[in-house]
Amino acid sequence: MNWDDLRYFSALASAGSLSAAARMLGVEHATVARRIASLEAYLGIALIDRRGRRWTLTTEGERIAAIADRMEVEARAVRRTADGARSELSGTITISAPPALAVETLTTPLVDLQKHHPRLTIRIIGEARTASLDRAEADIAIRLSRPESGDLTITKLGKMNFRLYASPDYLAITAEENWHFIGSDGLLASSPQQTVLEEFAKGRSFSFYANSLEIQQAAARAGAGIAALPDFMALSDPKLVAVFQDARLISRDIWLVVHSDLKRAAPVKAVSQWLREVFAQSRGPTDRDV
């Protein structure tokens, strides 16, 4: 049995389609189809129902996909254990972080770190979703919600403070009772800052929605209304002002998360320490938040 065929089948089961599995694996979709056909020929059973435009797993396919998934989890554990034993500062480190935080706070310091360690490759993924460290989707995750489960090592880095921001012109011509708001969409629709913003709006309308803080910031600059934005993005923006200078809307904790199997690996340890220093330096003497 070619174990690589099982890996391709597991990717299809996880991704849900040939094209998505191909993107996940970095190959052509025909390669995925060929590998799965090879696995079916070896096992002598159909794993995929190919009727219709979308492939679905057969009953046997679902059972084998569950077994393959467990095998993949154990294989990743083996890789993490090996990675954790390495002492050299080299290889690729993948960091998952909220996009705005990745742009404003992480990228420049991590470029500096990489210059000091040229054998180290840093890969930053800016995403609102929660990357799975068990599935090795990232080596390090920066999160705004503390994980409640998993074999993880978790460090609090600081806080992300949100205030209400708008363009000066918008505030000058719009009475408070007529304020419109800029809301969060997509994965951010259920975020704590959106919940608090809806409570503050008290029935006043939302004129604009966006699935990223960067777009919300641009909408506020353009006069669409009032947005809940992090201070690190908007406080120094010359086209925006805080609606209430001394009132924070909400503060969210920022967490650094690594899988416990990797915490002693030299690259992960070095990048984690660097990030802790970055956040420590970004705190002012009286304001201990980011």
pLDDT of residue 193: 95
Q: Reduce the secondary structure of 118-185 to three states and give it as a string.
A: CCEEEEEEECCCCCCCCCCCCCEEEECCCCCCCCEEEEEEEEEEEEEEECHHHHHHCCHHHCCEEEEC
Within this chain, do residues 73 and 128 fall inside the same structural domain, yes or no?
no
Within this chain, do residues 149 and 282 fall inside the same structural domain, yes or no?
yes
Closest by CA to 290, choosing from 56, 101, 75, is 101
Bridge partners, residue 210, by sequence = 184
- Sign (positive/negative) of CA torsion 57, 59, 64, 70? positive
Q: From residue 136, how far is each of 14, 96, 129, 131, 179 by CA, in Å? A: 14, 11, 15, 8, 44
Q: Which of 33, 57, 85 represents a domain boundary (last residue)?
A: 85
Q: What is the pLDDT of residues 203-255, one digit of tens each?
A: 999 999 999 999 999 999 999 999 999 999 998 899 999 999 778 889 999 99
- Would you say residue 284 has pLDDT above 50? no
Within this chain, do residues 150 and 247 fall inside the same structural domain, yes or no?
yes
Query: How many separate domains does the chain show?
Result: 2
Within this chain, do residues 187 and 73 fall inside the same structural domain, yes or no?
no
Q: Which of 85, 102, 130 represents a domain boundary (last residue)?
A: 85
Within this chain, do residues 14 and 101 fall inside the same structural domain, yes or no?
no
Phi-psi map region of 79: left, alpha, beta (phi>0 left; psi -120 to 50 alpha):
alpha
Within this chain, do residues 76 and 173 fall inside the same structural domain, yes or no?
no
Range 78-84 average pLDDT: 60
Q: What is the pLDDT of residues 12-35, one digit of tens each?
A: 888 878 888 888 777 887 888 888
Considering only residues 258 and 266, tell me which one the structure prediction assigns the higher pLDDT: 258
**Mean pLDDT, all residues of the chain:** 86
Its pTM stands at 0.68
Q: Which amino acid is at 273?
A: Q
Within this chain, do residues 211 and 78 fall inside the same structural domain, yes or no?
no
Q: What is the CATH number of the domain that holds 129?
A: 3.40.190.290
Within this chain, do residues 41 and 102 fall inside the same structural domain, yes or no?
no
Q: In terms of residue numbers, what domain contains 49?
A: 3-85
Within this chain, do residues 29 and 116 fall inside the same structural domain, yes or no?
no
Within this chain, do residues 151 and 14 fall inside the same structural domain, yes or no?
no
Q: What is the CATH number of the domain that holds 20?
A: 1.10.10.10
Confidence of residue 261 (pLDDT cuts 50, 70, 90): confident
